[in-house]
Structure formats: structure tokens, C-alpha cells
Amino acid sequence: MNERTAPAPDLLLDVRDLHTEFATSNGIVRAVDGVSWDVRAGETVALVGESGCGKSVSALSIMGLISKPAGRITGGQILFKGSDLLKRSEEEMRKIRGREIAMVFQEPMTSLNPVLTVGRQITEACEIHLGHTPEQAHARAVEVLGLVGIADAERRLKQYPHQFSGGMRQRLMIAIALSCEPALILADEPTTALDVTIQAQILDLMKDLSRRLGVATLIITHNLGVVARYADRVNVMYAGKIVERGTAREIYASPRHPYTLGLLRSVPRLDEPKRERLAPIQGQPPDLTRLPPGCSFRPRCGYAVERCAEEVPPLERVAGTQHSACWEKDKLPVRAAKPEKVPA
Amino acid sequence: MLRFVIHRFLLMIPTLVGVAVIIFLLLRVIPGDVVEAKFMSGEGSGVSAEVLQAERARLGLDKPVWEQFAIWFWGVLKFDFGISMWTGGPISEEIELRFALSLQVALMATIVATLLALPLGIIAALKQDTWVDYAVRIFSIAGLAMPSFWLGILMILGFLIIFEWLPPMIYTPFWVDPWQNMLQLIWPALAVGYRYSAVATRMTRSSMLEVLREDYIRTARAKGLWLKLILVRHALKNAMLPVVTVIGLEFAFLLGGLVVTEQVFNLNGLGLLFVQAISRRDYTLTQALVLLVAAAFIFVNFAMDVMYAWLDPRIRYR
Amino acid sequence: MSATTEGVLVEPASAARRRRWLDLTLSFCRRRPLGAIGAGVVIFMILVAVLAPWISPYDPLAIDFAAMLAAPSAQHWLGTDAFGRDVLSRIIYGSQTALIVGFGAAFIGSTVGAVIGVASAYFGGRIDLVIQRFMDILISFPLIILALAMVAVLGNNLPNLIAAMTVPMIPRCALVIRSSALSVREMPYVDAARALGYRHTRIILRHMLPNVMAPYLIMLTAFLGQAILLEASLSFLGLGVQEPTAAWGLMLRGAAVEFAETAPWMALFPGLAISLAVFAFNLFGDSLRDALDPKLRTG
Amino acid sequence: MNRRTLFFAAMLSAAACLFAPAGVRADEKPRSGGELIFPVPSEPPSYDAHREQTFGVIHPVAPHYNGLLRFDPTDPTGTKPVADLAESWTVSEDGLTYTFKLRQGVKFHDGNEMTSKDVKASYDKIIFPPAGVVSDRKGQYAVVKAVEAPDPYTVVFQLKWPAVSFLASLASPWNFIYRADILAKDPHWYETHINGTGPFIFVEHVKGSHWVGKKNPNYWDKGKPYLDGYRALFIKSSSAQVAAIRGERAHIQFRGFSPAERDTLKAALGDKITVAESPWDCLLLVAPNHTKKPFDDKRVRRALTLALDRYAGSKALSKIAIVKEVAGVQVPGTPYATPPEELEKLAGYGKDINAARAEAKKLLKEAGVEDLSFTFSNRGVPMPYEPVAVWLIDQWRQIGVNVKQQVVEAAAYYATLKKGDFEVAMDFQCGYTVEPDLDLYKFTSRSKNPSNYGFYEDKVLDDLYEKQSKAKSVEERKKFVRQFEKRLLDEEAHYLMTLQWHRIIPHSSKVRGWQVTPSHYLNQMLDTVWLADGPTQ
């Protein structure tokens, strides 16, 4: 699986063979099971998969926010700007969180502290990481509110989260993430909890900010539609492993893993002739404590062969930058359609 | 906010009136009355029925119940609780000293409970499912399990046998002699405070656990804040809301509900007065006491709601 | 996964169900050792109460003036009281009183509270407001007055004692259950049941009550310990069970205090029994709450 | 010497060895000074003893007052009336006129002189209370026709018929002498104020806390009181009272402690504690309700009394409860008490308990209630009601009678008794002095005596009561009292006696000059009490 061992200096974040486990009452869950991927400065990378596939855990592992003692990282490296985050002390990690790597969470409704003003919640990180005085921090807060498109900043900063709508709150979360000018933002399902119309606004905002400020972004989502529009590169995760990776264009054009294919088929598309119905993936996401031998996706896979039950398929190059972990990757039907919009 | 406060305030009124009506009727349903309790319990018992009737008339007990209630309630509205049917002295005079004592014990016990509960509860939550957590939980559940009168007996015996020392017998108001006052009241405050800390500790722990699982705590951690700052600024304020409620309500309970402890520690407080008043069928005094305790309880409840609203902007701006 | 290894006589579903219960129990013990200890003590207490006539060494009521105030010995493991009655036997029989009163009061208190809470939430509006005011009144009424009044009006026998003790429990339970029931009320199946024209009682009993089982169980177990303690306090004040019945609070009263120095076993052991019982119930109740309260669910 | 004084001399000689004079030692010279501190388990409802019934009034308030007569503070039986504000008295030959000469120059605490006008006003308030004024003991003075004050230092009581117990009634500790002028203005004034002639002046009463009196420097009995003052602490819990004595924060509690408390104190303080004991003029009775079946059947009532092993009970219960003496209708050792040998002849007083119980079972069988079970209503006061009830239930169990105890809260207890809403109930009687007129009245027919809770009519008993009251000699009176007792307890078994209360006063050895008596209402003026020197306090 360690298909790449040489350090790549241009990488902002390089996750190598990461293993994260959780001890539950039903046994050990390998939420992240030997995963490698990377993010370059300024680019937008997507981590895609159903809920429970380990994508959020990956992000939390990077932040060092895996809840102990149930969860722990059992192996691998997380190289940020070339040095391994897993070797950092808690205090060193604290200095990186919010300053170097910021995070935007899925639930804007609950991720803001209800009893503190939004001003307080934006300024505190600057005060701690950048040593801002309250005045400087306030000025910065006004500035970032402007960046995320919230007008009337002075007044808004004195308000409490419940006085903002969902979309506005996610803007606030982004503002908080931006406040210390981090190099990388991890956005965990940033739009899932929002109305469809708001979703696009938020994603556009993020894309725009990322480009303007040169911040690298990791978007974690289950929605390939989102990926297609906003990500440069895509990693598809299933049951704690990466099953396919490539540029957004590659993956859209010709998914080389049955799971990716299934994901794409379950997304409604405007550019295709009306189908009978969407084709959701059969079956349930697997129980991570009782993974079948061989390929984890086999029980739900329409293309499974005997070999799939015995050997775990490795992640191998298909074409270009595209990799897939499927024994039958070459026999999959080629998808005869393009994504709605190809990222520039 | 103001509308909220007014609304809550108005809701107190029917409750208080309900308490007044119920206690008034209840006392009159209980067999025996103050005149009997007073003149039919001693050695003489030679008091004739006419004399009893005359005494009832003197106390206004011969009037129809609704009229008695009207007279009494009209007085209450003017903050005049009347005179004790047993001693003939004004109610305020009967209650004054006892109230001071009970209030002080309640306050001290609440302070003891708070000082124990907050640190213990927070530590237990932070170290959930470790031996620290278990130790705190066992300590606090033991406090709940031990009958306070039993604990009191053990304490008094301990003083006597081990130290050959005894707390003062008679209540000295704090402003008269703080030292004597403390020497007497610190022990019941500790015994009761320990017991009530158990409730508050458990509430602090579970509330803290709940808050620590909140998304905004994760957000705060993701911002790279210091742990202390997360606890103090982000967790505590939210976690304290239910804790403050519990402590406040316990305080209100303590004001009127320390009957057993007062007996064990020989405190002449409201609890004892309560028992005496009802066993003497001192209607006016019992009514005043019930109303006082209920009002304290209801008011604390109200104050908690207002404080909730003040601490939690979601309610304030509703 | 299948029943084949269990033998043909075992019906697969019931075996699975049994194993599920076993699994649940085992996992409860593993994850909440304190709760398991509490449950163990509670079960022990129930056994002692049920088996009292067989395990108790003496008749708990038998006065023996020849053995007054005897210290713990081979004859009387925990000594005797002022009437020469065996303390151990009285503690054993006292567990019957404690359990009857404890379970009786806790069960009635939380059940009535639950019904009122659910009804209050279900009907809403003015009925809700009135019920809430009434609960406020009950909750702010000093318990001791209620107990004294009940006992004075009705006389102090066991049923009246239990009734008096449920009074403060009902409003507390009703408040908690009401808030849970409020959210259940918004569930589509309740709307559906209403639309189908089911009677209110049927909807409340069949649709609402089962869905507030978790808070109900939590309140019930919390009340168990409180009820035992309350019974002891009331007995200590002379408002509870009466002599010569064996009851723990009663054993701490009168002579136990007077002889506390010369015959400390009279006060010590019943006090320990009360503490242990309440401790166990609370330990169990606490862990159960942790397990049932979804907000606190870990993992 | 007239007939009455002879009478009392005879009574005194009859006092048996049960009573030991204590506290007053002839060889000691009383020391002046010091403050006597004593817990009082009850607090005065009002300050007016004429209307109250609790010792909670007597203990803190009595030192402020005098009566016309008092009981001799050195007499252990508490039955000998002596002068207080009266200096001397004479009784007319027909026994209908009592003339008292008052002391001169006695001053109230407010400075006014006490005269016959005040004595008359006080007794008028007790005997002929104006409308709206409660007098608790009015009934005891039904014999009084009029109280007269012919001159400032003479008071005359005119009686309707000769009453052998009249002097004892005048020595009642409840009959404080108040000032006439104040009573005239407001008959309720004394309910909330103090103004007497007594050895101590009122200082303060803090409700729920304490009562303080200081020495009256102008007290008429020169040289007294010895104490500089006293402090009554209102402490309800008996363990706290014990603790107070034990911690030497109080000297004495005048009502009484339990045997366990006595032993604890003695063990802890040794010689620093002196224990004074006496039979207590309080009797625990069992009242079978004659209106409820099968208690209308005297066989059943007799069975209940036969079941009681009083001697074994006395031996055991006296270690754990404030009861001791096996008694009939009079406190053992007092003039009219039945001697033990004679008492044994009554049903239930025999020494052969097995025979008695066999007879009890036989009686129950005859009455057709072999499996008798009933509810025993008890007064909601722990000591000594609870232990005695436990004992009773056990005793009855031994003749196959199954009894459940129902404890009735103290205040509702009389309502229950009065309504007859019980099967068998605990009843009690306490007196301030042992005197058949006062003690036997309770057992006369229900129709003339509302405190008969057996609900029976018995003309024979009523007749015997009249006869003893009007007896011409001690011996004659004794005879009638005996007959009364036999009919009440044996032949009819209207009431069952359990055991006589027993008063135990363990007090600081420093307390001198105080004599224990059968009544906790007596000897509370504290004028003769003094504190010996000691290392503490």
C-alpha cells in the first residue's frame, strides 16, 4: 500500500499509511485502516464516501482530536510541511490547530457556543495564536466577517449564534477558520446540514476564498456532485480504506471502482437523459468490527469475482493519476458522460 | 426578556394561592385543633367544653372556614401573618430567630455543597471511567446513601468520645459572636452540605460530560485553545446552567426541610418549628411557615429561570 | 449465528433473545462495573427479604429480657436491642419493609407521575397549564407537612406511608416525563393515531407511554433509593412504620440513640443496612441512567 | 393543732423508704452565687400558668412567682403543704372556712406591695374566670363558694362542702399570685408578661432559645435565693440535653432522663454526677373501650391484665424506660398506696405468672374470643409509651392475643380518645401531688367525668370516690381507696395499670438544696437551690 515512500517537498500535507482504531463494546473498529493521501499548497482535495467510512476520523486524526481513550492512532505518519504531526506533543499540536490547520464542521447549528457572542468566538483564536490585543483581534474579526460575506460586522459581532441562520452560521465557522490565516482548512461535510440553495453559496465562497487566499482545502463529503464542482483531486474511501483516487475529471469520466460507480449513479444528474430511477448502492455500509475477508465491498458489489473474497485488492494505478483498488477495475463499464462542470 | 420575566412572575401567583388554599384546608381536615392540643393534653384535662368553645371563638375558629380563610388571606396580602394560636405572639417574632438559623445553615450547607460539587464533578467528567471518576462517584453516592440523622449521631458521638467536646447548645446569631455561631452551625452544615453535594456533584459531572460532547467544544479545541480556557470559557458556563438550578432548588429545600438534621444537631430552626407547629395545631404558624417555605421555593425557581434566561441568550431573546 | 449448535430443542428466536439479554447484561457489567456491583447488592437484598423466614436466626419480634443489650457474639451476630431482640434478624426482616415501601412508593410515584406527565404533554394547552400549576404546588409543599398531615388524617399504616411518600415524587417525575413526551407528541405516528380517531387513552397508553420508558426507568430507579431513605427518616421521626414491626429507620430511633455509647451496635448496623441499600440502588440507578440517557451515550 | 394538721402528720409518717431526702444536707452551709443552667425540653406557650398545662411553663416561669401555699421543698413525697405567701392559716371546725394570714411587706417585681386583693384576684381568675379567660384547673376548685379579702393581709376561702384535699389544692404549683390591678385592666396581660413576687426577676425570653432570670435582691425570704440567677435553655432533643449536662454546660434537667441516659452520664462523669430518683406521679394506663366488643366483657379485660408479668416487666423495662414501680392507683410509698403484699392479691399482680396466663386463656375461651386480635392505639410520644407498648404487645402475644400498634400523633390522640375511636388505647395520668381526690377522679363514671376513656358507667366506683373524699380519718379513707382500687383493677378491670413512671434526675453534683419529688411540677421556685464550689463553672 505504501506505493509512495519518497518525501515530496511540495506537499503541504502528506498522510502516509494512517491507522486509527476505536475500542467499542463490540470490539475494535479500524476506522482508518492504512490510508495514504496528500494535499498540495493551495489546492482543494476531496475525501468522499458514505458516512462511517472513516473520512471524518481521518480529519480528526490530523487535528489530533481523536477522542481518547477509546480512539487512538496506531500507525502511519501525518507529515505537515514535512514534519510528522503524530510525533508532536499536545501543546505543539495545540499551536498548530487553528493556526496552521483549521477545521470547519458539519453542524453549524451546534458547533458554535450558544452562550458566547460570535465576536468572542472569532477573536479568541487570534488572541491566542497571533498574540493579538483585543482591538487587533476585533479588527481582524471585522475583516474576516467581510471576507465571508457577512455585512454589518460591527453589529453582528455582538450577537449570539442563535440570531444567525444556518447558512450564516456556516459562514461564521468559515470566518473562525480563516481568522488566523491557516495554510490548510479541513472542511468536514460543510454543507450537509444546509438547504440546497445555501449549499452552493457556501461552496462557492470556500472555493473563492481558497483561491484568493491561497489556502489549501480538504473537503470531506459524501456527495460526489460537490466534489465534481469544487475539488481538484479526489480520494474515495470505503470501510477505512481508499478505494480510488484521481483527479476529479478522471474519476468522473471513468470511475474505476464499483463503489465510485455506485456513488455516481446515486447522484441525480441534469445532463443525463431521465432514468427510471436513481440507483442507490445495494446493502448497508459494513460493520467495521466484522469486516469480511478479502475486499470489504464484495458483499455489495455487482462485479465481484471469487478472488475478491480471498485477497484484498491493492490500490494500483489505472491511468494518469487515477488509482483503483479493485481486481476487476479494467472490466468495469466506462461511464459515458461528463461531469456537469469541469473544474478549471 | 422583560416579557419573559413578567410571564414567569405572574405564573408564581396561582401556585402560591394554591399552596395557601391547600394548607389551609389540610390543617382543618386533620383531627384535633389547637385548643384541644393545648388544653386536653396535660394532667388536668379539667377544661370544660364551654371553655374550649370560648377559646375557639377567641381565636376565630368558630367562624365558617371560608370566612376564616378570607380573614387570614387578606392579612397575608398585607404581609400580616397574624398571631400564633399557640403562644399568642406575633408570627414574625416566632419565626425570626429560627429563620435566621435555618437560613444560615442552608447558606453554609449550600456553600459546602458547591465547593465540593464543582471541582469533584468537573474532575470526574474529565476523567470519565477512570479510577478518579469511580472514586468521586462512590464518594458522592455514599453521601446520598447515608441518612443524615445517622451521620449526625455518629458525628456527635465522635466529638464526645474522641474529643470530649461538644458544639454550643444555643444558637448565637452570627453578628453577635461569629466564633460561637460557627462552632455550632458548621457541623450540621458539613453533614447536610456533604449530602447535598452528592446531588450537585452528579449533576455537574453529567452536565459536564454532556457539554464536553457538544460540537462547540470540538470547535474550541480545533481552534487550538488551551484546555483551561476551553473548560472555563466554553464548557463551564453551559454546564453550570442545570447545576445552578439544582443547587438553587436544594437551597430552597434546605430552608424548610431540615427536620431530622435539626433534631440530631439540636438546632432550633424552622424544621423543628414546623413539627411543633403542626403537632400543636398552631394553624396560623403552620400556614405562615408553609407559605414561607413554598414562597422561597417558588421564588428560587423563578430566580433560576430568570438567571437561566440571563445566562442563556437563546431564552433571553425569545 | 444460527441455532444449530444449540440443539434442536431450542427455538432459535428465543435462544437468540436470551443470548441478547445475556449479552446486554454482560456488556452492562463490563462497561459499568459500579452499576453491576449495585445491581448485585440489590439482588442480594431481594433474596434476603424473600428468604427472611428461613435465614433469620431468631423471631424478629421475640422479646428476650435475659439477653437485653447483648453485644455481638456467636449467639447474636450483630447483638441484641433494648428488648433482647436479635438485631440481625430485625435487619433481615427490615429489608422486607424497606423493599415493600421502596418499590411501592417508587413504582406508584413514578407511574402516576409518568401518566400525568404524558397526559399533560399530550393534551397540551389549558389542561397542560393547569396540571403544571398543580405540580408546582405539590413540589413546593414541604414534604414533612404532607407526611405529618397524611399520617394524622389517615393514621400511619403501610399504605398511607407509601401514599405520603409518593406525593413529592409525582410532580418531579411528571416534569421530567412531560418534557420527553412533548417531543414524542410531535412524532408522525402519534399524529397518525389521532387522525385514525383512536381514543385518547389508547394513544397515551399504546403510543406515548412506551416511548418515554427510558426517562421513566431512570426516575423509577432514582426514586427507589430515595424512598428507602425517606422511609427511614420518617420512621426515625416516628411517622413511619410502627413498633414492633422490624424496620431499619425504626431501629435507629429511641433506645438506639440513648444507648449509642454503651450499645453502639444498635445504631450502627441498621444505619449501615440503610446506607448500603440506598448506595446500591443509587449506584445501579446511576449507571442505568448513563446507559439509557441517549445524550450521555458514549461511543 | 387542728384536725387537718394531724391528718398531714399521719400522712408523712406513712411515707415509705422509696423516697430518700436528697440535696439538702444539714451540715452544709448554702453558698451564694452562680447561675443555674438547665435545659427545658418544652417551651412555654404562654407565661400564664393558670391556663397552661405543660411543665414548659413551670420550669422557666415558676421562679418569678409565689403561691399562697407550696409543697414543702424538703419533702421527698411532695405531699406536705406549707406556707408561701401565707404566713399561717386556720380552718373552721366545720371545715368550710379557711382563713389565711399573709406575709407583710412582700413586693412585686414592679415595686408594688402584695396584698390580699392580689391573692383574691388571682384565685378569682383561677376559680371564676371572666368570659374569654381560660382557667385550666377551674374544675378542681368547684368546692369553693367564694374568696374574700376582709383586710389587706387576710384571705378567706368559703367552701361549699368540707374537702379533705383543699390545702393541697392551694399548694398547687400552677397558682401563681398575680397583681390585681394588672388583671383588672387586662386579664390576658400575664400571658405575655411577667410580674410576680418570686425569688427571681425576669430578664429575657428569646423564643426558641432561652429564658433568663436574675436574683430578686428584695426577696421577702431574707437570704434567699442563693443563686445569682438562672438560665433555662429550650432543648427539645433529649440526647442534646444529656450532652449539655455531660459537657458541663448545664447542671440539671428537671423533668427527667431515661435509665440509659442516666447510666451514660454516670459512666462519663462519675462523682461529678449525682442521681436523684423517685417514683413519678404519672401512671401509664391501658383503657379498653367498653363500647367496643369484646371489651364490654370483663372476662376479656381481666385476661388482658392477667397476661402482664408486671414484676419481670418492671425489672427489665426499668433499664430501658422511665417506668419502674408496680403500682395500684396511688404512687407506691405515698400515704394511701396499697402495700406490696396486698397489691399481689389483685388480678395481674400475682407472682405466679404462669397461673395467671393460664387463667387469662381460660377467660378468653369462656368469652369466646380465643383468637382475639385488636389494634392498640398509642400516644405518639416515644418515651415511655413506645417501649411499654412493645412490652404490652409481647405480653399479650403470650396468651395468644395478636395486637397491632397504631401510633396516634400526640395532638390527634385526644381527639381519638374522646371520640372513642379505638379498641384499646394507652392512657395516662400525671399529677402535681399524690392525692386520691385528684388521682381517682379520672376513673369515675364517664357521664360525670369526660376524661374517662374506658367509656364505662360504674355507680359503685362513683360512690366509693365520694366516700373516700369525705372520710373522717386516714384509716377510713385508706379503706375506701382500697375498695375503689380493687373494684377498678380487679373485679371490673375497667382500666389496666401498667407500671408507675419513674423519675430519674442525674444532675451536676454541684446542685444542692433541691429535692426530687414524684412530680416534675414541684420544687421549681429554685429559692432553696444553690451551687457548690467546683473547678468548672
Q: Which CATH number belongs to the domain containing residue C38 in this structure? A: 1.10.3720.10
Is a pLDDT exceeding 50 seen at residue C7?
Answer: no
pLDDT at position A257 is 87
- Please answer yes or no on whether C31 and A25 come within 8 Å at the CB atom: yes
Confirm whether C157 is domain-assigned.
yes
Mean pLDDT of A315-323: 85
Q: How many domains does chain D have?
A: 2
DSSP state of D442: G
Q: Cell 440443539 maps to which residue? A: C7
Of chain B, the end-to-end C-alpha distance in Å amounts to: 7
CB neighbours (10 Å) of residue B313? 19
Confirm whether D29 is domain-assigned.
no
**Strand arrangement, sheet containing D424-430:** D402-408, D373-379, D424-430, D273-288, D496-508
Instruction: Return the residue of A nearest to B237 by Cα.
Output: A115
Q: How many domains does chain C have?
A: 1
Please tell me whether residue D234 adopts helix, strand or coil conformation.
strand
Residues 6+ apart with CB under 8 A from B57: none
- The answer on D459 and D314 residing in a single domain is yes
Touching D (3+ Cβ pairs <8 A), the chains are: B, C
Mean pLDDT of A235-240: 87
pLDDT at position D3 is 42
Q: Cell 510525533 maps to which residue? A: A87
The closest CB to that of D261, out of C152, C238, C258, belongs to C258
pLDDT at position D18 is 57
Confirm whether C185 is domain-assigned.
yes
Task: Look at residues D196, D227, D247 and tell me which one is the last residue of a structural domain.
Answer: D196
Is a pLDDT exceeding 70 seen at residue C9?
Answer: no
The closest CB to that of A98, out of B223, B313, B314, belongs to B223
pLDDT digits (tens, 9 = 90+) for A139-165: 988 988 888 888 888 898 888 888 888
Q: How far is CA A182 from CA A129, B35, B162, in A?
A: 11, 83, 66
Burial class (CB in 10 A: 0-12, 13-18, 19+), D529: buried
Q: How far is CA A317 from CA A3, A17, A95, A244, in A?
A: 10, 17, 37, 9
C198 part of contact set with chain B, CB < 8 Å: no
Confirm whether C47 is domain-assigned.
yes
User: Which of C37, C128, C137 should be substituted to probe chain B, the one whose Cβ sees the most B Cβ atoms within 10 Å?
Assistant: C137
Tell me which architecture the domain covering B95-316 has in CATH: Orthogonal Bundle (1.10)
Q: How far is CA D187 from CA D62, D178, D193, in A?
A: 19, 10, 11
pLDDT at position C107 is 92
Angle at D77 between CA D72 and CA D79, to 5 degrees: 55
- Residue D416 and residue D422 in contact, taking contact as beta carbons nearer than 8 Å: yes
A321 part of contact set with chain C, CB < 8 Å: no
- How far is the alpha carbon of B224 from chain C, nearest alpha carbon, in Å? 24
* Chain D residues inside the 8 Å CB shell of C262: 260, 263-264, 267
Confirm whether D242 is domain-assigned.
no
Give the integer Cα–Cα distance in Å for A223 and A239: 17
| Identity at D462, one-letter amino acid code | D
- The answer on D294 and D149 residing in a single domain is no
pLDDT at position A338 is 45
Nine-digit cell at A270?
A: 441534469
- Residue A299 and residue A286 in contact, taking contact as beta carbons nearer than 8 Å: yes
pLDDT at position D173 is 92
- Any idea which of B45-49, C198-202, C260-264, D227-231 has the lowest mean pLDDT? B45-49
Interface size between C and D, measured as CB pairs under 8 A? 71
pLDDT at position D14 is 40
Helix, strand, coil in percent for chain B, rounding step 5: 75, 0, 20
* Chain B residues inside the 8 Å CB shell of D233: 169-170
- Please answer yes or no on whether B138 and C34 come within 8 Å at the CB atom: yes
Between residues C293 and D117, which one has the greater pLDDT?
A: D117
Helix (H) or strand (E) holding A72: strand A71-80
Is a pLDDT exceeding 50 seen at residue C68?
Answer: yes
Q: Do chains D and B touch (3 or more CB pairs under 8 A)?
A: yes
The interface residues of chain A toward chain B in range 260-299, judged by CB-CB distance below 8 A, are none
Range B187-218 burial, b when 16+ CB lie within 10 A, else e: bbbbbbbbbbbbbbbbbbbbbbbbbbebbbbb
- Any idea which of A226-240, B31-45, D356-370 has the lowest mean pLDDT? B31-45
Confirm whether D265 is domain-assigned.
no
A24 part of contact set with chain B, CB < 8 Å: no
Instruction: Return the residue of B nearest to D38 by Cα.
Output: B169
pLDDT at position A270 is 52
Confirm whether C165 is domain-assigned.
yes
User: Which of C243, C245, C258, C262 should be substituted to probe chain D, the one whose Cβ sees the most D Cβ atoms within 10 Å?
Assistant: C258
Confirm whether C14 is domain-assigned.
no
The interface residues of chain D toward chain C in range 253-292, judged by CB-CB distance below 8 A, are 258, 260-261, 263-264, 267
The interface residues of chain C toward chain D in range 240-269, judged by CB-CB distance below 8 A, are 242-244, 253-255, 257-262
Mean pLDDT of C219-236: 85
How far is C-alpha B65 from the geometric centre of its chain's CA atoms?
Answer: 30
- Residue D102 and residue D67 in contact, taking contact as beta carbons nearer than 8 Å: no
| Identity at B182, one-letter amino acid code | M
Of chain D, the end-to-end C-alpha distance in Å amounts to: 46
B226 part of contact set with chain A, CB < 8 Å: yes
Pairing of strands D200-206, D210-215: antiparallel
A70 part of contact set with chain C, CB < 8 Å: yes
D156: domain CATH number is: 3.90.76.10
- How far is the alpha carbon of C4 from chain B, nearest alpha carbon, in Å? 39
- How far is the alpha carbon of B256 from chain C, nearest alpha carbon, in Å? 7
- The answer on D354 and D465 residing in a single domain is yes
Q: DSSP states of D177-207 as a string?
A: PPPHHHHHH-TTHHHH-----SSEEEEEEET
**Of B13-17, B59-63, D211-215, which one has max mean pLDDT?**
D211-215
C272 part of contact set with chain D, CB < 8 Å: no
Domain spans, chain B: 95-316
- How far is the alpha carbon of C217 from chain D, nearest alpha carbon, in Å? 35
- How far is the alpha carbon of C141 from chain B, nearest alpha carbon, in Å? 6
Nine-digit cell at D49?
A: 400558668
D377: domain CATH number is: 3.10.105.10
Confirm whether C10 is domain-assigned.
no
CB neighbours (10 Å) of residue D251? 24
CB neighbours (10 Å) of residue D294? 17
The residue ranges of DSSP E strands in D370-459, in sequence order, are: 373-379, 402-408, 424-430
Instruction: Return the residue of A nearest to C26 by Cα.
Output: A25
Task: Please name which of A143, B223, D380 lies closest in space to residue C152, comparing C-alpha atoms.
Answer: D380
Instruction: Return the residue of B nearest to D134 by Cα.
Output: B51
* Chain B residues inside the 8 Å CB shell of C234: none
Q: How far is CA A147 from CA A178, A179, A205, in A?
A: 9, 10, 9
Task: Look at residues D172, D196, D220 and tell me which one is the last residue of a structural domain.
Answer: D196
- The answer on D296 and D186 residing in a single domain is no
CB neighbours (10 Å) of residue C160? 15
* Beta bridge pairs of residue A301: none
- Residue A161 and residue A114 in contact, taking contact as beta carbons nearer than 8 Å: yes
pLDDT at position B317 is 53
- Any idea which of C35-39, C260-264, D264-268 has the lowest mean pLDDT? C260-264
ipTM of this predicted structure: 0.75
Q: Cell 451540715 maps to which residue? A: D27
pLDDT at position D16 is 41
Give the integer Cα–Cα distance in Å for D51 and D45: 10
B209 part of contact set with chain C, CB < 8 Å: yes
- How far is the alpha carbon of D316 from chain C, nearest alpha carbon, in Å? 6
Q: Cell 410571564 maps to which residue? A: B7
- Please answer yes or no on whether C233 and B256 come within 8 Å at the CB atom: no
Confirm whether C141 is domain-assigned.
yes
Q: Do chains A and D touch (3 or more CB pairs under 8 A)?
A: no
pLDDT at position B262 is 82
- Please answer yes or no on whether B274 and C279 come within 8 Å at the CB atom: no
pLDDT, one tens digit for every residue, chain D (537 residues): 344 444 444 444 444 445 655 544 555 788 888 999 999 988 888 899 998 888 889 999 999 999 999 999 988 888 889 999 999 999 998 889 999 999 999 999 999 999 999 999 999 999 998 877 878 777 788 889 999 999 999 999 999 988 888 898 899 999 999 999 999 999 989 988 999 999 999 999 988 788 999 999 999 998 889 999 999 998 887 878 888 888 888 999 999 998 988 988 888 888 889 999 999 988 889 999 999 989 999 899 999 999 999 999 999 999 889 999 998 888 888 888 889 888 999 988 988 999 999 999 999 999 999 889 999 998 888 888 889 999 999 999 999 999 988 888 777 787 788 888 899 999 888 888 888 888 888 899 988 887 888 999 999 999 999 888 888 788 889 999 999 999 999 999 999 999 999 999 999 999 988 999 999 999 999 999 999 875 444
pTM of the model: 0.78
User: Which of B132, B218, B223 should be substituted to probe chain A, the one whose Cβ sees the most A Cβ atoms within 10 Å?
Assistant: B223
Task: Please name which of D319, D317, D282, D288 lies closest in space to residue D302, comparing C-alpha atoms.
Answer: D288
Confirm whether D208 is domain-assigned.
no
Give the integer Cα–Cα distance in Å for A107 and A111: 6
pLDDT at position B259 is 78
User: Which of D404, D407, D413 should be substituted to probe chain C, the one whose Cβ sees the most C Cβ atoms within 10 Å?
Assistant: D407
Confirm whether C49 is domain-assigned.
yes
- How far is the alpha carbon of B145 from chain C, nearest alpha carbon, in Å? 5
Confirm whether D46 is domain-assigned.
no
Per the structure, the complete domain to which residue D453 belongs is given by: 279-501
Is a pLDDT exceeding 50 seen at residue B187?
Answer: yes
How far is C-alpha D78 from the geometric centre of its chain's CA atoms?
Answer: 10
- The answer on D307 and D163 residing in a single domain is no
